[in-house]
């Protein structure tokens, strides 16, 4: 069956995690990056439908986004528990595909011992050199303060400028768009990704011990037109992980077409 099945699973702390699923076959779970979730990232469904004959693809609303609930206090370990609950529903082991900071969460989950057969990581946003400014050292604290003060828009703007690298004048235009209420709604979760990123956008080399336990075959992807720091990051991660391979895919900046990504996933999964 290839229809979109909308359902939910309850995580270890009682948080309800909503998800969609497409296709049939072995389980593939997609983890969105900061601010994203399936309803606003159509590539999730496009990939799921393109792979419908080979995979049962699951894309979920990370806690605090879309139709998923949230439970305080936040901890990265709770997001790993969310993924563990979804793998239980999907069937273990699962291939896990992570976008951007979702790729970093996927790495942490694999290092924690979740039953992951393969990792596919699209453009983890590490900053390991001086080709762009690092995240401010107080980035997470400022995000938390903005949300606590009832200023979710300021948290979203900080993410777009300090993390995504957008100029302030471009963000001002987004503030006037119909999309801005969506950004404000997910703003409390932006600090979650900041905690997942940790020091990996500081300009320093990647930590050698954080993912030492990862032994799943790993494919690191970056778009052909992406930011130079992302290409450097992809190479750095591939060199760090003994089971990793690197592949450039057709695309612009921090995205790539669904058909190209689906082909890369299929090729990696069925490589002999």
**Mean pLDDT of the region 123-128:** 98
Tell me how far apart the 2 most distant CA atoms of the chain are, in Å: 54
227: left (phi over 0), alpha (psi -120 to 50) or beta: beta
Calpha distance 103→199 (Å, rounded) = 15
User: Contacts for 9-12 with beta carbons within 8 Å, 24 or more apart?
Assistant: 9/85, 9/86, 9/88, 9/89, 10/85, 11/63, 11/78, 11/81, 11/82, 11/84, 11/85, 12/78, 12/81, 12/84, 12/85
Token digits of residue 117 = 């057969």
**pLDDT value of residue 4:** 72
**Mean pLDDT of the region 73-91:** 98
Q: Using DSSP, state whether 81 is helix, strand or coil.
A: helix
Place 3 in a pLDDT band, splitting at 50, 70 and 90. low
**Mean pLDDT of the region 58-67:** 98
Alpha carbon separation from 69 to 13, 17, 89, 186, 252 (Å, rounded): 11, 7, 18, 12, 33
Asked whether residue 2 carries a pLDDT value surpassing 70, the answer given is: no
**pLDDT value of residue 159:** 98
Asked whether residue 271 carries a pLDDT value surpassing 90, the answer given is: no
Closest C-alpha among 208, 218, 193, 80 to residue 143 = 193
Asked whether residue 110 carries a pLDDT value surpassing 90, the answer given is: yes
Calpha distance 191→150 (Å, rounded) = 14
**Mean pLDDT of the region 186-201:** 98
Alpha carbon separation from 240 to 128, 167, 224, 226 (Å, rounded): 12, 32, 21, 21
Asked whether residue 136 carries a pLDDT value surpassing 60, the answer given is: yes
Place 144 in a pLDDT band, splitting at 50, 70 and 90. very high
Asked whether residue 248 carries a pLDDT value surpassing 70, the answer given is: yes
Q: Which residues of 232-271 are buried (b: 16+ CB within 10 A; e: fewer)?
A: bbbebbbebbeebeeeebebeebbbbbebbbebbeebbee
**What backbone torsions phi and psi does residue 223 show, to the nearest 5 degrees?**
-75, 155
**pLDDT value of residue 137:** 96
Place 5 in a pLDDT band, splitting at 50, 70 and 90. confident
Asked whether residue 221 carries a pLDDT value surpassing 60, the answer given is: yes
H or E stretch covering 17: strand 16-23
**Mean pLDDT of the region 233-254:** 96
**pLDDT value of residue 1:** 40
Q: Using DSSP, state whether 221 is helix, strand or coil.
A: strand
- Mean pLDDT, the chain, whole residue set: 96
């Amino acid at each position: 069956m290839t229809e979109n099945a909308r359902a939910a699973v309850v995580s270890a702390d009682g948080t309800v995690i909503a998800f969609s699923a497409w296709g049939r076959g072995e389980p593939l779970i997609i983890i969105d990056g900061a601010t994203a979730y399936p309803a606003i990232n159509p590539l999730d469904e496009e990939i799921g439908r393109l792979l419908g004959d080979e995979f049962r693809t699951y894309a979920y609303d990370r806690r605090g986004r879309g139709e998923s609930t949230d439970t305080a206090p936040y901890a990265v370990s709770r997001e790993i528990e969310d993924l563990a609950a979804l793998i239980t529903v999907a069937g273990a082991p699962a291939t896990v595909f992570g976008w951007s900071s979702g790729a970093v969460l996927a790495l942490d989950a694999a290092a924690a011992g979740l039953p992951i057969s393969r990792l596919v990581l699209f453009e983890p946003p590490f900053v390991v050199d001086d080709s762009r400014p690092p995240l401010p050292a107080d980035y997470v604290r400022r995000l938390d303060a903005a949300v606590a003060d009832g200023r979710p828009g300021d948290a979203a703007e900080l993410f777009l400028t300090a993390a995504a690298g957008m100029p302030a004048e471009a963000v001002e235009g987004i503030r006037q768009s119909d999309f801005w209420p969506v950004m404000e709604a997910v703003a409390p979760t932006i600090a979650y990704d900041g905690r997942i990123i940790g020091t990996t956008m500081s300009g320093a080399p990647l930590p050698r011990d954080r993912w030492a336990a990862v032994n799943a075959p790993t494919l690191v992807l970056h778009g052909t037109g992406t930011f130079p720091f992302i290409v450097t990051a992809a190479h750095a991660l591939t060199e760090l992980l003994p089971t990793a391979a690197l592949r450039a895919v057709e695309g612009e900046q921090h995205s790539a077409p669904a058909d190209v990504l689906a082909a890369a996933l299929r090729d990696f999964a069925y490589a002999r």
